[in-house]
Amino acid sequence: MTVAALIDLGVPLELLREGLGALKVRGLELRTERAVRHAIAGTRFVVSAPPAEAPHDPSRHTIGPAVTASAVFHGHGAHEHRAWREIRALLEGARLPGRSGALAVAIFAKLAEAEGAVHDVAPEAVAFHEVGAWDSIADIVCTALAVDHLAPTEIYCGPVPLGQGHVQTAHGRMPIPGPATLHLLRGFPVEQGPPAFERTTPTGAAILAALARPAPVPLRYVPERVGIGIGTLDSPAVPNLLRAVWGRAADDAPGTEQLECAEANLDDANPEWLGYLLERLLAAGALDVALLPVHMKKNRPGTLIQVLYAPALREAVQGLLFSEATTLGVRHYAVARTALPREAVTVATPWGQVQGKVATFRGRRRFSPEFESCRALALRAGVPLRDVYQAAERVWAEQA
């Protein structure tokens, strides 16, 4: 239901189709339809899997998605098992736009970590059953594509509803919430109680664990858009839907977040390797990477590399610096970043659609076209890049 809610919020379905094409899977089709639950209308998102796999609705997953090479933990249906390392290689090898590849890897990594902890195996040994199916992979990748397109500064969630009761699995009768779901939601406020069905799946919990954080109380914001994602199950007890709200800070003030910075001084690094390292760090989820010329001891010219990242990525960033650079030590320190509220927008130019961001400060809005979007149009149309930029800025100014 996450993708459905984000589409209803305004993410173009065609953008998801184009992004998913990077996986190069034939027969994988996406469609939407309008639906109603308890008199509330919204969008359903349906993935049609390749013929080799049974049809699947991404709004419903089983209580446990994982298997290992030696044992099926929660097997349901006839989906193919895929190892976590296989899925990770697929995602890292695909040319997914922006940060969507890193976001999709982060969601699957949370699932692998949770299933490994529950079943006492290393995350690398985990393979997925339901979540390893092409349609479920598409659901997670489309979530990452949609979030990358919207580019929110923060994602908050309220108390997570779990449901109650039991489900029958390959290991017998299991309680709701499933073990992996509960592991993923550590640190999140939850609500357990009726109705008696699984209201939050491991996939949904992994999306929250990787991308969101609990909303502060009170959460003061100005709602601007609302998206309703509809699930397959039509329960008489509660409307089976997910609501996504796009808003801005109530006082329109810049938001401050706690991040970390890693630094290393390099005086013997191949410049070609540094460019490769920069790409790897950004693909892993780093928010920014800078290479600065410095004068070091023994009168040597060198390079200072600085990496800005969320605290959860410290091990990944440090691992890349040690494996891909020549440094013997890495400095870490906490930083506070203040960022203006922003939103993703699309404007129509004579050569096609241009994506961009609108930042707001003290009531004044500023539009910035995205370079890659302008670059693609300029190359395709054979016009100067400057003309595409100016056309996009002019169209936005006329519409603002």
User: 315 and 188 share a domain?
Assistant: no
Asked whether residue 327 falls in the same domain as residue 375, the answer is no
Provide the token pair at 54: 């049974």
Residues 6+ apart with CB under 8 A from 18: none
What is the pairing mode between strands 160-163 and 190-192? Answer: parallel
261 and 158 inside one domain: no
Among 319, 312, 325, which Cα is nearest to 264's? Answer: 325
State the Rg of the chain over Cα.
Answer: 22
pLDDT given at position 360? 86
Handedness of CA 382, 387, 388, 389 (dihedral sign): positive
**Host H or E run for residue 167:** strand 166-169
Residue range of the domain that includes 394: 342-399
Q: Are 295 and 236 in contact (CB under 8 A)?
A: no
pLDDT at position 225, please? 96
Q: Are residues 109 and 233 both part of a single domain? A: yes
Largest CA distance in the chain: 75
| Interhelix angle 371-381/385-399, nearest 10 degrees | 120
Per-residue pLDDT of the chain (400 residues; tens, 9 = 90+): 999 999 999 999 999 999 999 998 888 899 999 999 999 999 999 998 766 544 444 444 333 444 333 222 233 334 457 889 999 999 999 989 999 999 999 999 999 999 999 989 999 888 876 554 777 889 999 999 999 999 998 999 999 999 999 877 656 788 999 899 999 999 899 999 999 888 999 999 999 999 999 988 778 788 999 999 999 888 898 999 999 999 987 765 566 778 899 999 998 888 889 999 999 999 989 999 999 999 988 888 999 999 999 888 898 999 999 999 999 999 999 898 888 888 899 999 999 999 999 998 878 899 999 999 999 999 999 999 999 999 999 999 998 7
Residue 15 has a pLDDT of: 96
CB atoms within 10 A of CB 10: 17
Print the SS3 string covering 263-322: EEEECCCCHHHHHHHHHHHHHCCCCEEEEEEEEEHHHEEEEEEEEEECHHHHHHHHHHHH
Q: Quick one: 96 and 135 in the same domain? A: yes
Give the pLDDT confidence score for residue 363 in this predicted structure. 80
Domain boundary among 339, 354, 382: 339
Q: Are 325 and 305 in contact (CB under 8 A)?
A: yes
Output DSSP code: residue 393. Answer: H
Distances (CA, A) of 382 to 304, 375, 399: 38, 10, 26
What is the pLDDT at residue 117? 93
Q: Are residues 54 and 135 in the same domain?
A: yes
The pLDDT value given to residue 78: 42
Edge-to-edge order in the sheet of strand 40-48: 29-37, 40-48, 221-230, 241-249
Q: Judge if 161 and 217 occupy the same domain.
A: yes
Same domain? 346 vs 271:
no
Are both 100 and 205 inside the same structural domain? yes
Domain final residue, candidates 217, 249, 281: 249
Angstrom CA distances, 372 to 85, 262, 279, 368, 378, stand at 30, 27, 15, 12, 10
- Of 234, 249, 264, the residue at which a domain comes to its end is 249
Run of H or E including 395: helix 385-399
CA distances for 322 relative to 85, 264, 281, 344, angstroms: 22, 10, 12, 35
Number of domains in the chain: 3
Same domain, 278 and 357: no
> How many CA atoms lie less than 13 Å away from 348 in the CB half-sphere?
1
- The answer on 329 and 350 residing in a single domain is no
Question: DSSP assignment, residue 84?
Answer: H
Distances from the Cα of 73 to the Cα of 12, 62, 136, 234, 242, angstroms = 36, 12, 18, 28, 28
What's the gap between Cα 322 and its chain centre?
26
Same domain (yes/no): 90, 19: yes
Cβ(4)–Cβ(46) under 8 Å? no
